[in-house]
Structure 1
Amino acid sequence: MLRGMVFGACLLAGSMAAAQQAETLADIKQDLAVLTVELRNLRSELNTTGSPDLGIRGSALDRIAAIEGELQRVTAKAEELEFRIGRVVQDGSNRIGDLKFRICELEPGCDIGKLGETDPLGGDAVPTAPVAQPATPPATDALPFDGELAISEEADFRSAADALEQGDYAGAELLFAQFRETYPMGPLEPAALVGEGRALEGQGDSREAARRYLSAYSGFPDAAVAPEALWRLGDAIAALGSIDDACITLGEVSVRYPGSDAVSRAEASRQTLGCQ
């Protein structure tokens, strides 16, 4: 009788263990299926929906306004996708870590303590913003931003600005581009765009310079360098041969930024071009 009870208990324990293992494997398959669907949906976001038609026509101001609106739309869409991608990466990474833990439980001799951290999807960790430190630039060499900056951010910007002032336009272009890549959409982004535009203009590339000035003005209309960006944009348009559009753009400086230092410079440019 006792032997029969022990044998029955062993059978029951074995069947429960098998059921638990089968259920765990089923859960793993389900999680993998869900993760695959999420990644497939994310990949579909990378497919284009056709050729864009921005419809940028009309006068210079109309085209500037249209480009400004399009930049805002694209920026908003990029931020939305960035948020969604971040959620998928975080959720997918957590699921993969959970799967590794559960598979280790099923494998004989697997030490859970040695699994380590799970790498995020994509292979790279999400970059963290540098810790902000108070910036105390000299009063005679103030940055075009009234606030706190990371020490490395200030140093990198000054290096690019120094190269520009020394006439090393190719070096300044590279340093400003690297700065914008290292500190994307930071407080000095509009000033870096203007600096990169000046470096390009110094190398005779007025077209790309105009694009940088337009990005600085349209993307950051309230920035300290926005009046300068609009004035330099007018000059760059004139260098490209569109005198009428340049005159209109230069005339907008006094309308949009009355009292700024760029007003007198824009007016001097208008007189040089013979604007009416």
Structure 2
Amino acid sequence: MRRLLPWLFLLSVLPAQAGLFDDQEARKRLDDMRSELGARMDKLEAASRGQIELANQIEALKAEVAKLRGQVEVLTHEIESTQKRQKDFYVDLDNRLRKLEPQIGAEAKPADAAADSAAETRDYESALNLFKSGKHKDALNAFLNFIKTYPASPFLPSAHYWAGSAHYQLGEYKKAMELFGKLAATWPDDAKAPDALLGQANCQQESGDAKGVKKTLETLVAKYPASAAATVAKQRLAKRR
């Protein structure tokens, strides 16, 4: 009986030790699972923060695009308004010029001189009507022919202006500048001189000559401050500041 006691004691202790080992293993596995879960939560939070930052960037880009669209609309409107004003100037300024120009045939002239004067007026008006109709190439040829045919005509400054304007409409800015420049230099007191300087500035603008534009507009304002063209020049200079 005494020999059996140690064995009986050993048998009673073994299950308790086995249970202790099972508990330790379970705790270890639980700790491992908690660590893994914590790591996954950290990754999830990092990914969530990244998505939030991306969403914020997208919203910022959308706002910037909307802002740029607004600026484009404003610039488009300004360009359309400027083009309309230029077209109105063509008609209005020519009408004012016609009132200021000496009346052809007002004085008594020989019959042949009167006929020449009538032909001169007819040719000028025909060329001008071509321009107003949008036939800029035909108008250009008509005005250049008028300049050669009637070198002493009182319409000569206007013919240079409209020929320059036709070149401008055709995208021939260098040739347009030559005609505008000749008008401004040869007939500085003519009603078309301020408009010729404005046309010259427009050509410089299209040619990318920013310094030239500024200088020409400043010259226009200084020489013809009360002209309609000077009003436009002042507005453009103000926008450049």
Question: TM-score, structure 2 length as denominator?
Answer: 0.53
The reply to whether residue 182 of structure 1 matches residue 149 of structure 2 is yes
**How many percent identity over aligned positions?**
24
Q: Distance in 2 between matches of 1:253 and 1:141?
A: 19
Question: Could you say which structure has the greater relative contact order, defined with CA pairs below 8 angstroms and 6 or more residues apart?
Answer: 1
Structure-2 change in CA distance of 1:142 and 1:244 (3 Å):
closer
Query: What does 1:24-43 correspond to in 2, within 5 Å?
Result: none
The reply to whether residue 156 of structure 1 matches residue 123 of structure 2 is yes
Q: Which residue of 2 aligns with 1:224?
A: 191
Q: Distance in 2 between matches of 1:234 and 1:185?
A: 28
Question: TM-score, structure 1 length as denominator?
Answer: 0.46
Q: Which residue of 1 aligns with 2:232?
A: 265
Query: What does 1:122-161 correspond to in 2, within 5 Å?
Result: 143=98, 145-149=100-104, 150-161=117-128
Q: Distance in 1 between matches of 2:207 and 2:99?
A: 28
Contact 2:97–2:192 (CA under 8 A) maintained in structure 1 = no
Q: Distance in 1 between matches of 2:95 and 2:170?
A: 28
Q: Distance in 2 between matches of 1:227 and 1:144?
A: 17
RMSD across aligned positions (CA): 2.0
Structure-2 change in CA distance of 1:157 and 1:145 (3 Å):
farther
Contact 1:235–1:269 (CA under 8 A) maintained in structure 2 = no
Contact 2:184–2:193 (CA under 8 A) maintained in structure 1 = yes
Deviation of 1:148 after TM superposition, in Å, equals 2.7
Say how many residue pairs are matched. Answer: 136
Structure-2 change in CA distance of 1:256 and 1:169 (3 Å):
same
**Paired residue secondary structure (2:103):** coil
Structure-2 change in CA distance of 1:235 and 1:142 (3 Å):
closer
Contact 1:216–1:229 (CA under 8 A) maintained in structure 2 = yes
**Higher Rg:** 2
Contact 2:120–2:150 (CA under 8 A) maintained in structure 1 = yes
Equivalent in 141, 161, 178 of residue 211 of structure 1: 178
Structure 2 unaligned segments of length 5 or more: list them.
1-93, 105-116
